[in-house]
Structure 1
Amino acid sequence: DVQGIYVPTDNTLASTMGSVKQVAEANKLPVVAASTDQVKAGGLATYGIDYYELGRQTGEMALEIIEEGADPATMPIQSSKVLDLVVNEDVAKALGIDPASITVPE
């Protein structure tokens, strides 16, 4: 009675996206993923982390340490400032879903 699959940002699951994709396609199940890379690998959609942008944000933190002498022990914890809605249009169409109908609620 599974109606969909969620794949969190987990290296073990992310590395198995090919297998997850095969099972999802065979059973016509949408896969909502936690990262843009997982959508590119066969997931339906994500409103999640863009690892390039996260790396950029991390680089800005490193510059604070190197150039401004910030103490990593006292720097505030940050989460990703950029989240992207990414829809795999081919997967959406294969599932009979209009890609334009997938939106982020306001």
Structure 2
Amino acid sequence: MKLPINYVLVPVLESALIKSVSRIIDINHSTGQALIIGLEYPLKKPGVIGIEEISYELEQGILRVEQDLPAAYMLKDEDELSDKEKLSREKAILYYKLRYRSS
């Protein structure tokens, strides 16, 4: 199964991988890993999960995909973000992409 970036994964049954509603924020097809972040407040650091494991849980009905389920606190327009929030976001994305890509 091909998993697009921004898919929201919702646990239907008790998942060994994902404990709460989470979004795929990056996929590294060469390593077979996806970078996942939980959408519940307070935010936690993203984690890396194997694409095959996610696909298995989707096929088994343990997880389901919800494409139209944004977290309410994430619905700020770009122009509503302060410079501090934008800088923090960019630093976090860069940090995790560098860390994730080198794994």
Question: TM-score, normalised to structure 1's length?
Answer: 0.25
Structure of larger gyration radius:
1
Q: Which has the higher helix share?
A: 1
Question: TM-score, normalised to structure 2's length?
Answer: 0.26
